[in-house]
Amino acid sequence: MLKNLLFFASKTIKCSTVLLAWAPLHEIITGCCSPTNSLILLLKMSRVVKNAATQFLAVRSNRRVFHRYHNHTALPGSDMIRCFSSSGTPDTNDGGGSSSTTSSKSSSARSSLRFPWRHSQHMLPKVEMEAARMQGNWRGQLSMAIWERSTALLVKNDFSQVLFGRQWRQDLADNSAWAWSLALASLLAKTFKGMCLPKKLWNGSYFRI
């Protein structure tokens, strides 16, 4: 009996923690968030993704308790809503477009044959447009920042570094660039059958990045 009570109490506390964490985001979206609350808000939001899953599994058998708090829970910001779109249609066919099978089609296909590569000094227009849209939109920026940090914690970055530092962002970017160059080399090698390996890769110096 005591064990059951303790279990129930712990689940209730956990559930409340999550709901408290979600609640301030609603304040951000509705514009009621004061600057002094921002730090507290970030602290609370930091573990929300992990806790959401924990609590989902923990409280789904006791949903009535959870739903009592729904009016106080947060919604993703308008920018997050805009961010998510169902209009993307996955295409499991040829990634480069449909292939031509007739001679006439092949002629036109050849004239439009394009190596899938962008070589430009300018930023991708989509990214520029996004930056312009977010400029001056502090609520959108804050909402995205919170989402970003929650995601960073989800992939097990250090709690304090995510909240108070930016090095994790640079590390992730550097590692991604490193991984991308290796992936691209392997992609070109695989597609065009030019399996190659730098000598430096053998002696381990490559892995220091």
Partner 1 sequence: MKPPNFEPFLSILHLFQQSPVPLDDIYSSDGDTAEIKFKYTTPYTKPTKEADTNKNDAAPGQVEKSNDKDSTIGGSNNDGDDPTSPLVEKHLEQLFLSFYRKSHAVDQVDDPQPMEITLEMTPVDAELHRLICFPFLSRKASEQDDTRRQDYFRMFELIREDGPQAFFQRFWDFADRMQAERGVLETTVMADVIVDCIEVFQVKDLTSNKSIQGDGIERTVRHVIRMELDVTWIEDESADGGDWEIGNWRVADIDDQLEGKSWVRIK
Window 24-63: residues binding partner 1 (CB under 8 A): 26, 49-50, 52-54, 56-58, 60, 63
Is the CB of 35 or the CB of 57 nearer to partner 1? 57
Query: According to CB under 8 A, which residues from 170 to 199 bind partner 1?
Result: 170-199
Is the CB of 39 or the CB of 190 nearer to partner 1? 190
Query: According to CB under 8 A, which residues from 117 to 176 bind partner 1?
Result: 117-124, 126-127, 130, 144, 147-148, 150-152, 154-156, 169-176
Q: Of 39, 43, 82, 135, which one interacts with partner 1 (CB under 8 A)?
A: 82
The burial of 37, by beta-carbon neighbours within 10 Å (0-12 exposed, 13-18 middle, 19 or more buried), is given as middle
Is the CB of 36 or the CB of 191 nearer to partner 1? 191
Q: How many residues bind partner 1 (CB under 8 A)?
A: 107
Within 10 A of 29 (CB to CB), how many other CB atoms are there?
A: 21
Q: Tokens 């449909």 identify what position?
A: 98
Distance of CA 39 to the CA centre of its chain: 21
Tokens of 98: 């449909």
Q: Tokens 């929650």 identify what position?
A: 150
Distance, in Å, from the CA atom of 169 to the CA atom of 185, rounded to the nearest integer, reads 24
